Structure 1
């Protein structure tokens, strides 16, 4: 009788067959020239679904290179023993095109068409949630990182595990910035989208603000991609909000912030999650002295569980691999996702899903993003520090660490500077 994973596999195969013509181009050979072919049977086949095109392209940039770098370290050390055979790991890459349904479809095709053994994914709930759902249906281990925990854990997971940060840790970073600005009470204007992440932020910040003596001003939810923030900015100005906070996509924040500056209204401190990850986005809108949570930095005191490299050394490899001018906060999470996989495979010594899940359930390891230990809901809460972007006199941008409450061993590199 067929049951369990076998049935899920058959369902996934049928779904993939219906989509094969449409999706064959979505899963390509990786940049190191490795082919997605049947000759990979001697490898542990590692799939990864990330946004390489579309509105989330900036999030996916460099992920393939850093993932391959970490896998190469494992392979160069001899690979891993699974089911009595020593194997190396081979990467198969799928592009979500920044669309949730496409992410799901690509994951399904990789599972059924490429027969990947395990799946990695990252970069916003629009990617990690549908990919994990596809893996749940197929009975495949899925490891994801960097999505807020609450957004990822909206549904139950049996085969999926996540290492990210929760809204409370984001808000604690915001609180550090508010205090550094000398604003210990008053109104907080909250920018939030009408999606799951925006709703989660709004609910959390309302209770959080009340607990710390602040009052919430809600200018209303916006639809991602909107171009008109006039009414919201007017409300923030009328309410004399000393703080503007929220979670926004970089494109939405850029549109909003330009309108904010044009209005002549400047808050004492602006704390926005997600939107301030990338230097080019901050620079494009001139968001000088913007504060945000910092997911990961080369100043973190952790070392790789694969190679022993420091976070600074991982950052240098990122620069070498991507040719970027600065190290993205995503670099550490991209690397850590492979660290997590490495530790699970070492413990399980098998590709059997039950053994893999048993190893994940008991995982307790140090990585370049800190200690990873999954709770009963299959996610690990990672600590954050608080950063501020500063425009330098020479025309460059720097992000400084202004508070390290959650990671005391990460050095503070600058005092808070008030928005001009």
Structure 2
């Protein structure tokens, strides 16, 4: 007589536990047991792997500084990080994000380094209702590249992003390009991807408004092996400034062809973004890399510290070089800033295991990081915050440096708190 009610109660209990396991009962969570899980996604191999070279090292510094714990809402939580490599593949980026959400049951997902990483991760988190935070991709590529429309309400709730944007590039370039006399004709080489589309639609009009004549060579596919048509266009139009946003390996192919076909000798400013960020790229180009121009989103000279690692910008670079025997890279500071912002958001949340509460904390976050202040209350759009850029020129490093080439800060109109280190010169083909 009592077996049926007992069985029913057992099934109800089992069903309730299953529902809690998939988020059906928000009150039953790992956070209540005193543990928070944070997923971290970045390209640690493949053509974008240079961005992720130092990510594991930075995370080790965060673990060391935090002691594997974080305090939020008056309670101390154990902090567990789960790392995934996208292998530079957007499809895999989405897949590993779903693994973190569905299998690892993370409370927060962090991602970094180019739209090919952060956009698919953000989309997966948005679909699942999981808070996400990302950096190192122009905010327009993140926001508009995922379907938001200018002037319309944000379609997003869960994924947040901080980085430079087109406005930062426009300010940087107007300043940096004024430091060398040119005919103000700019050749733009932009890929057919989220970065290229955002830059084409927004930066080109801004440059034209600033008085530059822009020659757009048209979209190309990442991985293309022949840039003859684009080089011919730039030579015919007489451009003296060149600007591009390619995958790093693609720029190396283009630039060697540009030198062989006479374009490099015509140019006075060679301005890189997405490529031209790492010493290894410049060293691989040999003499062709000396004097190239770029923007930097982090540099050891930045007067900012990283709360999540307990290190200043200079100390981050020095520790990396001492422990790894390699020269510093920009992504060290950028990745540190992602953990700075993430831990600040967790600490500011009364219930970090409550996804809605954590997403709301991200939306009102204002925190100091190793790239400067990250302020989501200032916009420019919901879920996005901006950080600054400085202009650099790649030059031979001083004797004894780990890198053979280092970026010298030559322009700071977009980030005036960062001191200048040198005077910009025109590019000269060796």
Instruction: Give TM-score scaled by structure 2 length.
Output: 0.84
For each residue in 1:202-250, what CA deviation from the matched residue of structure 2 results, as whole angstroms up to 9, or x when unmatched?
2223212221211111222211100100111111111110111121111
Post-superposition CA distance 1:51-103 (Å, at most 9, x none): 12211111111112202312331226xx2235664222111111111111111
Distance in structure 2 (CA, Å) of the matches to 1:122 and 1:90: 18
Indicate which of 368, 372, 394 corresponds to 1:389.
Answer: 394
Q: 2:38 aligns with which of 46, 60, 64?
A: 46
Matched, 1:244 2:242: yes
Match for 2:369 among 363, 367, 371? 367
Unaligned 5+ segments in structure 2 are 1-14, 25-29, 148-154
Aligned residues: 385
Give me the whole-angstrom Cα distance separating, in 2, the residues matched to 1:230 and 1:124: 26
Distance 1:84 1:371 in 2: 25
Distance in 2 (CA, whole Å) between partners of 1:52 and 1:251 is: 15
Cα 1:235–1:360 change in 2 (3 A) is: same
Q: Which residue of 1 aligns with 2:137?
A: 147
The 2-side partners of 1:299 and 1:393 are apart by 15
Aligned partner (choices 367, 380, 385) of residue 380 of structure 1: 385
Distance 1:123 1:80 in 2: 25
- In structure 2, distance between residues paired with 1:144 and 1:320: 28
Deviations 1:342-362 (A, max 9, x none): 111111032211211222222
User: In 1, Cα distance between the equivalents of 2:102 and 2:397?
Assistant: 51
Residues 50 and 122 in structure 1, CA contact (< 8 A), matched pair in contact too: yes
User: What residue in structure 2 maps to residue 411 of structure 1?
Assistant: 419
Is 1:289 the counterpart of 2:297 in the alignment?
Answer: no
Tell me how far 1:9 sits from its aligned partner: 4.9
Q: Distance in 2 between matches of 1:48 and 1:61?
A: 14
State whether structure 2 residue 393 is matched by structure 1 residue 401: no
Which structure has the greater CA radius of gyration? 2
Please give the residue correspondences for 1:120-139 in structure 2 after superposition, counting only pairs within 5 Å.
120-139=110-129
The reply to whether residue 349 of structure 1 matches residue 350 of structure 2 is: yes
1:68 and 1:91 in contact (8 A); partners too: no
Structure 1, unmatched stretches of 5+, are: 12-37
Q: Per the alignment, in what secondary structure is the counterpart of residue 234 of structure 2?
A: helix
State the partner residue of 1:257.
255
- In structure 2, the partner of 1:174 is 173
Give the C-alpha shift of residue 8 in structure 1: 12
In structure 1, the partner of 2:51 is 59
Give the aligned partner of residue 34 of structure 1.
none
- Once residues 83 and 199 of structure 1 are traced to their aligned partners in structure 2, the CA distance between those partners, rounded to angstroms, is 42
Q: Secondary structure at the match of 1:348?
A: coil
Q: Distance in 2 between matches of 1:98 and 1:86?
A: 35
Compute the displacement of 1:253 (Å): 0.4
TM-score of the superposed pair, with normalisation by structure 1:
0.86
Counterparts of 2:164 and 2:56, CA distance in 1: 22
CA RMSD of aligned residues (A): 2.4
Correspondence 1:89-128 to 2 at 5 A: 89-128=79-118
Deviation at 1:398, TM superposition (A): 2.1
How far is 1:10 from its partner?
Answer: 7.4
* Distance in 1 of aligned mates of 2:250 and 2:312: 34
Distance 1:212 1:81 in 2: 48
**Counterpart in the other structure of 1:27:** none
Give, in angstroms, the shift of residue 137 of structure 1: 1.7
Are the counterparts in 2 of residues 153 and 377 from structure 1 also a CA contact under 8 Å?
A: no
User: Once the two structures are superposed, what CA deviation does each residue of 1:358-393 show, in whole Å capped at 9, x if it has no partner?
Assistant: 222221121111111113421110011000001369
1:323 Cα deviation from its structure 2 partner? 3.2
Contact 1:65–1:321 (Cα < 8 Å) also in 2: no
2:211 equivalent in structure 1: 213
SS of match in other structure, 1:182:
coil
- Give the CA deviation at 1:410: 1.4
DSSP-derived class of the 1:283 partner: helix
Q: What is the distance in 2 between the residues matched to 1:369 and 1:333? A: 7
Give the secondary structure class of the aligned counterpart of 1:223: coil
- 3-state DSSP of counterpart to 2:307: coil
